[in-house]
């Protein structure tokens, strides 16, 4: 039976690259999307072209019950769960002096609480040797510019959660790791966008990452060769944090 993966937030950007890469690696893939139904359909078609099963469902990561139900139901449909990737995230920028509590609560719900819920629900569906990978951010360790204090806090929180979860799940040989990308080309951060030149100038390698470069590290962490790697944060930022 083929291995299976669930990607929380898999219709665009890094999540879509991860879903495609895991399908290339031979996994059946289920993923959530927030609003991008058309993009989700494209990812489904790409996964199916590779001969793998694909499931896409619109799920609001703020809806804890819906998120847990998706993980449980799709794990059963796919015959188990081998890999869980938590990628869904939200950035609502703003300075601390006048940051709206509604935005704070929403970002905490999507970026932190949903990761905890997904790990908790996913671990229950996994057999020994499962893989959990959380897509974090270098902002969780190094803020670098104004307006992202709350976002950075959420990413620091999930990195800490990953370290603890790695210890809790180690007796079942389930590994838990964080991938922390730096500037990456996505639909929300295009290579020709208004901030691209400023962002690129801060990267020692002189460019932003392609989402497939992030997906390649996820592929390693999802595979058999990473069985002794857990509780770690892997920075992929072209040298920004060096």
* CA–CA distances in Å: residue 69 to residues 90, 91, 93, 98, 122: 21, 25, 30, 36, 10
| Percent of the chain surpassing pLDDT 90 | 83
Confidence of residue 147 (pLDDT cuts 50, 70, 90): confident
* Tens of pLDDT, residues 5-24: 999 999 999 999 999 999 99
- What region, left, alpha or beta, does residue 235 occupy, with left being phi > 0 and alpha being psi -120 to 50 degrees? beta
**What are residue 166's DSSP bridge partners?**
none
Nearest one of 242, 83, 232 to 159, comparing CA atoms: 232
**Cα dihedral 71→43→159→97 (10° resolution):** -110
Nearest one of 28, 60, 54 to 42, comparing CA atoms: 54
Q: Name the average pLDDT for the chain.
A: 94
How many domains does the chain fold into?
A: 1
* Tens of pLDDT, residues 116-127: 999 999 999 999
Using DSSP's 3-state secondary structure scheme, residue 155 falls into helix
Q: Which residue has the tokens 């800490």?
A: 160
Using DSSP's 3-state secondary structure scheme, residue 142 falls into coil
Would residue 127 count as lying in a domain?
Answer: yes
| Integer Cα distance of 124 and 105 in angstroms | 27
Would residue 176 count as lying in a domain?
Answer: yes
Mean pLDDT of 230-237: 96
In terms of pTM, does the model score above 0.85?
yes
**What is the structure's pLDDT at 187?**
73
Would residue 9 count as lying in a domain?
Answer: yes
Confidence of residue 218 (pLDDT cuts 50, 70, 90): very high
Q: Which residue has the tokens 């799940």?
A: 169
* Tens of pLDDT, residues 88-136: 999 999 999 999 999 999 999 999 999 999 999 999 999 999 999 999 9
Q: Is the model's pLDDT at 1 over the cut of 70?
A: no
**What is the structure's pLDDT at 199?**
83
Confidence of residue 201 (pLDDT cuts 50, 70, 90): confident
Count of CA atoms in the C-beta half-sphere (13 A) of 100: 6
Q: Is the model's pLDDT at 194 over the cut of 80?
A: no
Would residue 189 count as lying in a domain?
Answer: yes
Would residue 24 count as lying in a domain?
Answer: yes
Rounded to whole angstroms, the maximal C-alpha distance in the chain is 54
CATH code: domain of residue 55? 3.40.50.720
**What is the structure's pLDDT at 85?**
98
CA-angle at 18, arms to 47 and 209, nearest 5°: 130
* CA–CA distances in Å: residue 106 to residues 66, 112, 161: 16, 10, 19
Domain coverage including residue 161:
4-236
Mean pLDDT of 36-46: 95
**What is the structure's pLDDT at 87?**
96
Burial class (CB in 10 A: 0-12, 13-18, 19+), 235: buried
**What are residue 184's DSSP bridge partners?**
209
Would residue 242 count as lying in a domain?
Answer: no
Is residue 39 a contact partner of residue 33, using CB atoms and an 8 Å limit?
Answer: yes
Active-site residues, by number, are 151
Mean pLDDT of 152-157: 96
């Amino acid at each position: 039976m083929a291995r299976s993966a669930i990607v929380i937030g898999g219709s665009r950007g890094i999540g879509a690259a991860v879903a495609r890469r895991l399908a290339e690696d031979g996994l059946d893939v289920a993923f959530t999307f927030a609003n991008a139904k058309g993009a989700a359909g494209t990812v489904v078609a790409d996964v199916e072209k590779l001969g793998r099963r694909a499931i896409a469902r619109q799920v609001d990561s703020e809806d804890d019950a819906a998120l847990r139900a998706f993980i449980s139901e799709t794990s059963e449909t796919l015959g188990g769960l081998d890999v869980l990737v938590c990628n869904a995230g939200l950035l609502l920028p703003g300075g601390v002096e006048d940051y709206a509590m509604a935005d704070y609560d929403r970002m905490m719900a999507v970026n932190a609480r949903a990761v905890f819920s997904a790990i908790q629900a996913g671990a229950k569906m996994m057999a020994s040797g499962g893989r959990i990978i959380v897509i974090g951010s270098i902002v969780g360790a190094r803020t670098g510019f104004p307006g992202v204090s709350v976002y950075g806090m959420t990413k620091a929180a999930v990195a800490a959660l990953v370290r603890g979860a790695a210890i809790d799940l180690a007796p079942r040989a389930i590994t838990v790791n964080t991938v922390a990308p730096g500037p990456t080309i996505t639909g929300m951060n295009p290579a020709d966008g208004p901030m691209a030149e400023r962002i690129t100038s801060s990267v020692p390698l002189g460019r932003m990452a392609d989402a497939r470069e992030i997906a390649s590290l996820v592929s390693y962490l999802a595979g058999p060769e990473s069985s002794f790697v857990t509780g770690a944060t892997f920075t992929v930022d072209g040298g920004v944090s060096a």
